[in-house]
């Protein structure tokens, strides 16, 4: 496990051996030296309580239920993270038996984590937030605690045009260094606009879903089932794709987006 600090962010702080997931009890996932870094980040960055709601298969797997090899370590990882600040709490929900909670949070598959602050902003993780995605997970927790993000004022102004429900899915893999910025951007949109819900989806854990959306490279962002774009891009360009999906571009912005496609 290695820790890299770059502009105040943790990069590649968690490198889980995903091959061994599900083979008995896992050791401590976050080493003490890394815990110290995250404690300091939380001490400076958390501005309110955050609840991490983890959806899992439970202790006993139900007959006919699909196996969830990453559920156990996802719960363990989230509990370890929550132990690094008094502002954080964990709620573990059985996906198969607690239908009311599943419906309340709109959870479709497991493992899943909902990051909830003063309100539920629709920030979701489907799959264990390991590898490079651990960075996004930690930073999302801090943003949710604040109820706001560092999106540029111009981006927030453009984002306000989204006045109908929008569902964003960002497909990733734990070893993709370009995926966290795409996940962070989608989750920032959800925090800033109540009409938007955004999911990180770990492609290797949900291959059928990745196949359904023709995910051959990551990150791949899917919006409302019928619009997608690939790669991580600067905020000022990514927001154009989001507005295009919502059919909210101005004529000048349409020209800008067309120029990017050339």
Strands 9-11 and 50-56: unpaired
Dihedral angle of Cα 42, 44, 47, 53, to the nearest 10 degrees: -10
Which domain covers residue 159, as residue numbers?
4-261
- pLDDT for res 27: 82
CATH number, domain containing residue 234:
3.40.30.80
pLDDT number for residue 40 = 97
| Model confidence pLDDT, tens digit, residues 88-139 | 999 999 999 999 999 999 999 999 999 999 999 999 999 999 999 999 999 9
Full-model pTM: 0.90
pLDDT band at 7 (very low <50, low <70, confident <90, very high): very low
> What is the 8-class DSSP label of residue 14?
B
Residue 33, number of CB atoms within 10 A of its CB: 10
pLDDT band at 74 (very low <50, low <70, confident <90, very high): very high
pLDDT band at 66 (very low <50, low <70, confident <90, very high): confident
Q: What is the mean predicted confidence (pLDDT) over 233-237?
A: 96
Count how many domains the chain has.
1
CA distance 197 to 96: 23
Mean per-residue pLDDT of the chain? 90
Residue 63 — pLDDT band, cuts 50, 70, 90? low
- The residues pairing with 91 across neighbouring beta strands, listed in sequence order, are 53
Give residue-wise pLDDT tens across range 193-230. 999 999 999 999 999 999 999 999 999 999 999 999 99
């Amino acid at each position: 496990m290695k820790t890299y600090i770059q502009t105040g962010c943790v990069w590649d702080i968690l490198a889980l051996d995903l091959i061994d997931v599900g083979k008995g009890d896992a050791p401590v996932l976050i080493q003490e030296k890394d815990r110290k870094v995250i404690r300091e980040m939380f001490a400076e960055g958390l501005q309110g309580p955050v609840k991490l709601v983890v959806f899992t298969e439970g202790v006993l797997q139900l007959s006919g239920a699909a196996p969830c090899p990453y559920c156990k370590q996802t719960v363990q990882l989230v509990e370890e993270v929550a132990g690094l600040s008094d502002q954080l709490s964990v709620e573990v929900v059985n996906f198969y038996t607690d239908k009311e909670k599943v419906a309340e949070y709109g959870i479709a598959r497991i493992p899943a984590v909902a990051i909830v602050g003063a309100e539920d902003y629709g920030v979701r993780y489907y799959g264990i937030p390991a590898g490079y995605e651990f960075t996004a997970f930690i930073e999302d927790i801090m943003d949710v605690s604040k109820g706001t993000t560092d999106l540029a004022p111009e981006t927030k102004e453009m984002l306000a045009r989204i006045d109908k429900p929008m569902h964003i899915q960002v497909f990733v893999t734990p070893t993709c260094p370009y995926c966290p910025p795409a996940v962070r951007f989608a989750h920032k949109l959800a925090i800033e606009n109540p009409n938007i819900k955004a999911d990180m989806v770990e492609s290797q854990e949900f291959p059928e879903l990745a196949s359904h959306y023709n995910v051959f490279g990551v990150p791949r962002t899917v919006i409302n089932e019928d619009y997608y774009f690939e790669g991580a891009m600067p905020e000022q360009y990514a927001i154009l794709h989001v507005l295009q999906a919502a059919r909210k571009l101005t004529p000048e912005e349409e020209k800008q987006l067309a120029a990017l496609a050339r």
